[in-house]
Amino acid sequence: MNRAKFTDWLRSQTYRDDPVGDIARDLTADPVGPADDHPVTVLDYVATVGGTAAATACRAAVAEWGAAL
């Protein structure tokens, strides 16, 4: 089974009405975005541009993505 890249998975979550969906929409709309697809890079980027609440939502997204193996 092929595992989706974290950013691809996250961008596919834009329909959600929760913090993960908020992060997904923000990331999709961001013209710069993180430097690569690695979850730690994305988390660092989100924490830098979005603050604590965004980082918390991103950590939840990483956990959910990781559990979907």
pLDDT, tens only, 19-55: 999 999 999 999 999 999 999 999 999 999 999 999 9
Q: Which two tokens stand for residue 42?
A: 């994305």
Q: Name the strand (E) or helix (H) holding 55.
A: helix 39-67
CA distance 68 to 26: 22
Q: Is 47 helix (H, G, I), strand (E, B) or coil?
A: helix
Name the pLDDT band for 4 (thresholds 50, 70, 90): confident
Please state, in angstroms and as integers, the Cα–Cα distance from residue 11 to each residue in 14, 17, 33, following that order: 6, 14, 12
Is the whole model's pTM more than 0.85, yes or no? yes
**Amino acid 3: pLDDT:** 67
